């Protein structure tokens, strides 16, 4: 399971002209489920996102997590996060999980964050979404449950 995590001052996801999720001062997470991912991957990544210290404290150091600043998390399903572009010019998505299984793990990830006491907004799994955000910093962090990087 992989995630691209961005610290944002605002973010929203629009599906068919309707805003489905909106946050301010929080984290935008693009989540990609890989083949063979399971509950352990969900728990690991959700815990990482929950406790990721990327918000500034009074001394302007990135020392606070999303809950400490009262932020929210916008989670977007994005199988493209599993892309492999090492060969050629067209990315391969062979490592992405099948949609039915990926949807279950995506929901589990969101539920895990909610269980940590974080407010979660979501996109619509499998839908064509317009995601609009203002990256604060910019801060972009790559996370991977298999610890490949």
What is the pLDDT confidence band of residue 36, given thresholds at 50, 70 and 90?
very high
Domain count, the chain: 1
Distance between CA atoms of 112 and 115, rounded to whole angstroms?
Answer: 5
Q: What is the pLDDT of residues 62-112, one digit of tens each?
A: 999 999 999 999 999 999 999 999 999 999 999 999 999 999 999 999 999
Q: Which SS3 state, helix, strand or coil, does residue 128 take? A: coil
Tell me which DSSP letter residue 116 carries.
T
Instruction: For residues 4-19, give the mean pLDDT.
Output: 98
Does residue 149 fall inside a structural domain?
no
Which CATH number covers residue 73?
Answer: 3.50.80.10
pTM score of the predicted model: 0.97
Residue 24 structural domain:
2-144
Does residue 22 fall inside a structural domain?
yes
Q: What is the per-residue pLDDT for 148?
A: 86
Cis amide linkage into residue 138, ω under 30° from 0 = yes
Among residues 78, 106, 111, which one has the least CA distance to residue 4? 78
Please identify which residue in the block is written with the tokens 């990609």: 32
Q: What is the pLDDT of residues 104-147, one digit of tens each?
A: 999 999 999 999 999 999 999 999 999 999 999 999 999 999 99
pLDDT at 149 over 90: no
């Amino acid at each position: 399971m992989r995630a691209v995590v961005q610290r944002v001052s605002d973010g929203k996801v629009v599906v068919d002209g309707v805003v489905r999720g909106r946050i301010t001062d929080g984290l935008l997470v693009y989540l990609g489920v890989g083949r063979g991912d399971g509950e352990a991957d969900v728990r690991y990544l959700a815990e990482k996102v929950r406790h990721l210290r990327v918000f500034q404290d009074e001394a302007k150091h990135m020392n606070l997590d999303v809950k400490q600043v009262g932020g929210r998390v916008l989670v977007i399903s994005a199988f493209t996060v599993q892309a492999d572009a090492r060969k050629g010019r067209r990315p391969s998505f062979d490592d992405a999980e099948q949609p039915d299984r990926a949807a279950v793990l995506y929901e589990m990830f969101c539920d895990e964050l909610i269980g940590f006491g974080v407010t979660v907004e979501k996109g619509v799994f499998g839908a064509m979404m317009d995601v609009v955000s203002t990256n604060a910093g910019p801060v972009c962090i790559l996370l991977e449950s298999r610890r490949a990087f």
